[in-house]
């Protein structure tokens, strides 16, 4: 008996390692390598492997968790394991590849289901949540009824989708519950030898049907595309899809072959699979793994890294099993969840606690929400009639563009506004005064930048702040009407502040020491712009990760996409160029002396006197070759208006000048010309 148990354990370990290897291979995007093969059917194998994995893993989990009802806390355990794995994995990735840091990626770390980090992980968590209901339902139905219901749902999934489901988003994890239910059902029914071999035979036949059918239908599809007949009206890979009955028969055969081992696994052993699922599906995996160049062979590097990640997965799984849920915060969370047996009861309790937390922290939440709206408004003020020019020929609705692609730049602005509020609140101890001051400064600053944009085509730079002392010259630029509007607005704002402080006073929670610490941290935050443009630094990469990316070529577009606050901070410590190695006054003097001697040798043989030469530079800033202008089209029959100027290219020094705009900016362009 002991010998059988030891043998079983060895078989379990071998099966787990083999399954982990099969899944970790899929960290790499093997489609490119498969597409280079001479045999068309091999090109679709990576897709078949991923789809089969997505179907088989839930079936295995279903079989393991079919013995009794699973408590909702089990889903929480898997979710926590996934979160911690993602945090460590992404930290390692950002440490190795800091240029790839993005807040959108960080969002996927902490909210893997909402961000659709892994459909398979989402499917497992969804399945664990509904397992008690599946358990009750399957025990109410007879064996034949269960088989009919599951078969009907499998066929209907294919019939209703026609094999077009693309499992890219967490929502499709709900479909994987079907395979989880299959695993629960198949784990405890008696399967005759004849049924077993028929299933295996059906699986083998299905494998060849998919292997041959997919490239065949793909050829038909592309012939239709080239012939413009029904192109795009169907999915050429409908056989190679998790909804495909043929794929299901393949997976079913594999499941039945290993069923005796699968049903012996415990819930604790299944936790080892979670890190593997994360490594397999994490969006950064292929990029991260390909970054390791241990040898000169790409294939050898891949093999080495697969086995390295296998060891990492085993180590992580062991640490989770041994220590994770002994950690007090997680242990308390699990104990709390275990007090509620049903999912509806648990959701109701969690919602109640969340509602109380929101009510208790409503001041902070509403303050943050207001600063986000304020930040968004400051971006919109800089837009051109609610449009932002994303390139020379295209503009887009400002609200859509900002919320869709610059969401985290607005968040970063919000963080700086909240930091300013924290400092002001620590000084004044008045909530409304501090809030209104931040609001007035933000909107006022945005309007001031917009005025200068309209006048000069550029925003306010840090070097121009000292111009405030020349208020006599600034006032005429603003205009009397605008000054009256500003004065009236300030009177209204002061009256509003007094009214709110008297009638609706707000005191934020926390001692003065706590507020002092936050104020100090806020002051430190305002030092970070000193490193915004220092390429390679941690602050530089974090700043870029928030989508605050300055081009320094088109000032008007920069302030529109980065907002007036971040745009100003970006110019505080502008790095015009990286400091060369060994740069010093003595090194420059050495180079000066060196090339003076070189020039003297060259000028010995010159026939003309360089000092008597005159260079004439005709600077016409408003001129542009119309044939290179992106939005101008000239009829072929029309005479060439710049034929002579174009002819000069071949007989004189010629080049193109980079300009932030067409026309204007005289001082800037002349300085660039004279200094090179």
Integer CA distances (angstroms), 412 to 108, 307, 389, 409, in order: 18, 40, 22, 5
Percent of the chain with pLDDT over 90: 44
Does 345 fall in a domain? no
625 and 555 housed in the same domain? no
Among 270-284, 433-447, 545-559, whose mean pLDDT is lowest?
A: 545-559
Instruction: Give strand ranges (E) for 419-558.
Output: none
- pLDDT at residue 551 greater than cutoff 60: yes
The confidence score (pLDDT) of residue 209 equals: 92
621 and 547 housed in the same domain? no
Does 12 fall in a domain? yes
Which residues make Cβ contacts (< 8 Å) with residue 16, sequence separation at least 6?
265, 269, 272, 273
501 and 621 housed in the same domain? no
Pair 621, 663: CB distance under 8 Å: yes
pLDDT digits (tens, 9 = 90+) for 598-636: 888 888 877 777 677 777 777 766 677 888 876 778 888
Domain boundary among 326, 353, 383: 326
For the residues 147-166, what does the mean pLDDT come to? 91
The confidence score (pLDDT) of residue 174 equals: 95
**Centroid of chain to Cα 268:** 32
What single string gives the DSSP state of each residue in 95-146? HH-GGG--HHHHHHHH-TTTTTS-HHHHHHHHHHHHHHHHHHHHHHS-HHHH
Per-residue pLDDT band for 2 (boundaries 50, 70, 90) equals very low
456 and 552 housed in the same domain? yes
Does 354 fall in a domain? no
- pLDDT at residue 139 greater than cutoff 90: yes
pLDDT digits (tens, 9 = 90+) for 403-419: 888 999 999 999 999 99
Among 2-11, 583-592, 641-650, whose mean pLDDT is lowest?
A: 2-11
Domain boundary among 539, 570, 601: 570
The helix (H) or strand (E) run that includes residue 662 is none
The number of distinct structural domains making up the chain is 3
276 and 414 housed in the same domain? no
Per-residue pLDDT band for 671 (boundaries 50, 70, 90) equals confident
Residues pairing with 394 in the sheet: 391
At 358, phi and psi to the nearest 5? -60, -45
Does 346 fall in a domain? no
Residue 506 DSSP symbol: -
524 and 671 housed in the same domain? no
Structural domain boundaries enclosing 231: 2-326
Per-residue pLDDT band for 536 (boundaries 50, 70, 90) equals confident
Integer CA distances (angstroms), 228 to 136, 164, 225, 340, in order: 52, 21, 5, 59
501 and 639 housed in the same domain? no
Pair 146, 138: CB distance under 8 Å: yes
Does 662 fall in a domain? yes
516 and 636 housed in the same domain? no
Domain boundary among 570, 597, 628: 570
297 and 435 housed in the same domain? no
Residues pairing with 232 in the sheet: none
Please, where are the H alpha helices in 383-468? 398-405, 407-428, 431-456
Q: Helix or strand or coil: residue 396?
A: strand
Residue 456: exposure state from Cβ atoms within 10 A (0-12, 13-18, ≥19): middle
Task: State the Cα–Cα distance between residues 554 and 292, nearest whole angstrom.
Answer: 37
The confidence score (pLDDT) of residue 661 equals: 59
Does 38 fall in a domain? yes
The helix (H) or strand (E) run that includes residue 79 is helix 73-96
Does 22 fall in a domain? yes
564 and 601 housed in the same domain? no
Q: What is the mean pLDDT of the chain?
A: 86
Does 580 fall in a domain? no
The confidence score (pLDDT) of residue 253 equals: 95
The confidence score (pLDDT) of residue 513 equals: 87
The confidence score (pLDDT) of residue 232 equals: 57
Confidence (pTM) = 0.80
Integer CA distances (angstroms), 144 to 64, 139, 185, in order: 21, 12, 11
**Centroid of chain to Cα 217:** 35
For the residues 134-157, what does the mean pLDDT come to? 94
93 and 233 housed in the same domain? yes
13 and 145 housed in the same domain? yes
pLDDT digits (tens, 9 = 90+) for 203-262: 999 999 998 888 888 888 777 777 766 555 667 788 889 999 999 999 999 999 999 999
Of 137 and 630, the structure prediction assigns the larger pLDDT to 137
pLDDT digits (tens, 9 = 90+) for 20-56: 999 999 998 777 666 666 666 677 888 899 999 999 9
Residue 575 DSSP symbol: -
Per-residue pLDDT band for 665 (boundaries 50, 70, 90) equals low
């Amino acid at each position: 008996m002991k010998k059988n148990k030891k043998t079983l354990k060895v078989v379990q370990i071998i099966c787990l390692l083999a399954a982990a290897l099969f899944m970790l291979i899929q960290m790499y995007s093997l489609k490119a390598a498969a597409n280079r093969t001479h045999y068309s059917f091999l090109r679709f194998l990576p897709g078949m492997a991923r789809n089969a994995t997505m179907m088989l893993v839930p079936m295995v989990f279903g079989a393991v968790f079919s013995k009794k009802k699973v408590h909702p806390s089990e889903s929480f355990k898997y979710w926590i394991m996934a979160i911690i794995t993602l945090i460590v994995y992404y930290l390692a990735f950002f440490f190795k590849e800091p240029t790839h840091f993005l807040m959108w990626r960080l969002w996927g770390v902490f909210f893997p289901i909402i961000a659709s980090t892994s459909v398979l992980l989402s499917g497992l968590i969804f399945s664990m949540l509904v397992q008690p209901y599946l358990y009750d339902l399957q025990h109410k139905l007879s064996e034949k009824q269960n088989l009919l219901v599951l078969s009907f749902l499998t066929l209907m999934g294919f019939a209703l989708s026609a094999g077009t489901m693309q499992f890219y988003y967490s929502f499709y994890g709900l479909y994987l519950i079907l395979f989880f239910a299959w695993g629960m059902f198949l784990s405890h029914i008696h399967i005759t030898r004849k049924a077993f071999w028929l299933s295996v035979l059906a699986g083998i036949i299905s494998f060849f049907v998919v292997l041959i059918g997919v490239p065949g239908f793909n050829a038909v599809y592309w012939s239709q595309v080239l012939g413009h007949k029904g192109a795009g009206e169907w999915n050429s890979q409908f056989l190679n899809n998790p909804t495909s009955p043929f794929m299901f028969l393949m997976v079913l055969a594999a499941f039945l072959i290993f069923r005796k081992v699968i049903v012996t696994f415990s819930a604790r052993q299944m936790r080892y699979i979670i890190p593997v699922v994360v490594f397999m599906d994490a969006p950064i995996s292929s990029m991260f793994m390909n970054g390791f160049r241990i040898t000169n062979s790409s294939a050898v590097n891949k093999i080495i890294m697969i086995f390295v990640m296998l060891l990492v997965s085993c180590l992580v799984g062991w640490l989770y099993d041994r220590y994770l849920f002994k950690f007090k915060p997680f242990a308390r969370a699990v104990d709390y969840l275990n007090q509620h047996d049903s999912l509806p009861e648990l959701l109701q309790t969690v919602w109640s606690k969340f509602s109380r937390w929101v009510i208790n922290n409503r001041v902070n939440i509403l303050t943050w929400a207001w600063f986000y709206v304020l930040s968004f408004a400051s971006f919109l003020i800089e837009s051109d009639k609610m449009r932002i020019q994303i390139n020379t020929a295209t503009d887009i609705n400002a609200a859509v563009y900002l919320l869709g692609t610059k969401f985290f730049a607005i968040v970063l602005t919000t963080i700086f506004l909240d930091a300013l509020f924290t400092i002001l609140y620590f000084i004044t101890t008045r909530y409304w005064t501090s809030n209104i001051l931040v609001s007035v400064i933000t909107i006022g600053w945005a309007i001031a930048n917009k005025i200068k944009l309209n006048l000069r085509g550029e925003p306010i730079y840090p070097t121009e702040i000292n111009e405030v002392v020349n208020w006599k010259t600034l006032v005429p630029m603003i205009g009397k009407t605008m000054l009256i509007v500003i004065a009236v607005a300030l009177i209204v704002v002061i009256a509003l502040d007094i009214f709110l402080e008297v009638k609706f006073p707000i005191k934020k929670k926390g001692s003065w020491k706590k507020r002092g610490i936050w104020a100090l941290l806020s002051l430190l935050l305002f030092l970070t712009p000193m490193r915004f443009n220092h390429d390679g630094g941690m602050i530089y990469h974090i700043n870029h990760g928030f989508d605050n990316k300055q081009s320094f070529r088109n000032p008007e577009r920069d302030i529109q996409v980065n907002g007036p606050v971040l745009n100003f901070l970006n110019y505080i410590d502008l790095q015009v160029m990286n400091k060369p190695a060994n740069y010093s006054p003595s090194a420059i003097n050495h180079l000066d002396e060196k090339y003076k001697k070189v020039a003297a040798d060259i000028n010995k043989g010159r026939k003309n006197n360089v000092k008597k030469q005159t260079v004439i530079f005709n600077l016409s800033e408003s001129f542009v070759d119309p044939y290179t202008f992106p939005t101008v089209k000239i009829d072929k029959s029309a005479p060439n208006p710049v034929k002579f100027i174009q002819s000069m290219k071949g007989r004189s020094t010629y080049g193109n000048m980079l300009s932030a705009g067409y026309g204007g900016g005289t001082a800037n362009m002349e300085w660039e010309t004279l200094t090179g």
